[in-house]
Amino acid sequence: MSVLYLVRHGQASFGTDDYDRLSDLGKEQSRITGRFLAAQGIEPDRIVHGEMLRQRQTAEGLLEGMGLSMDAHVDSGWNEYAAWELTGVLDDVDPRAKHDSKIFQGELERGAARWASGEHDEDYRETYNQFTSRVDRALDDAVAAMGSGQSTIVVSSAGAIAWTASRLIGGDFDQWMAFNRVTINTGITKIITGQSGTSLISFNDHGHHDPKNATYR
């Protein structure tokens, strides 16, 4: 069997003028996760991340924590959806959403339901169906690139990881949103693949973090 580890990026910079960068805690979360993976005897053959800065910085922290030096592969298929675009087209958005993550989550879920309905596709640069299709392709490519017994670490974001997990258990939009809602920064989702197919083994494992340092944004 081959193993794919999906790692969500570390805590980013919510509430600032540039969300797409890790906070100091996010960088430390990445190093801690790398040390945890190394302690489990995991020696990846490849590491892949999306194009986003927070994803690249997390991959760098993982490698530092694991004590590895290797070139990462960039696959835009693992990019996150445009969350601010989903909320930006809504009427009467709560202005506190820019700085209050709980309020933002509620508005995001309202925007995601509108996005996924398919009734307003002209309002988005990427439709919900286009998003899920590109994540599907990224997963298929990551699996295809592994030889028997190899392992790959993929650094991505909550939406892409949640969709992958939902797809593998035959879930729909509601299942995706339920996973998306609880995905923790640098949580680890484990997938195995072999002759019997590709299967979800565990989702969002975050036992390597002190509970007080568990973050969602």
Residue 199 β-bridge partners: 192
Where is 7: in which H helix or E strand? strand 2-8
Distance CA 30, CA 11 (A): 9
Distance CA 27, CA 59 (A): 10
Sorting pLDDT into bands at 50, 70 and 90, what band is 9? very high
Would you state the torsion angle of the CA atoms of residues 58, 198, 42, 211, taken in this order, to the nearest 10 degrees? 50
Tell me, what's the pLDDT at 15? 64
Distance CA 114, CA 106 (A): 13
Sorting pLDDT into bands at 50, 70 and 90, what band is 156? very high
pLDDT in tens, 200-214: 999 999 999 999 889
pLDDT in tens, 10-21: 999 766 666 789
pLDDT in tens, 92-129: 888 888 778 789 889 999 999 999 999 999 999 999 99
Sorting pLDDT into bands at 50, 70 and 90, what band is 71? very high
Tell me, what's the pLDDT at 100? 81
Q: All domains of the chain, ordered by start, with CATH?
A: 2-80+135-213 (3.40.50.1240), 82-125 (no CATH)
Whether 8 and 208 have beta carbons less than 8 Å apart is answered as no
Tell me, what's the pLDDT at 31? 98
Tell me, what's the pLDDT at 144? 97
Predicted TM-score (pTM) of this structure: 0.93
What average pLDDT is seen over the chain? 94
What is the average pLDDT across 2-9? 98
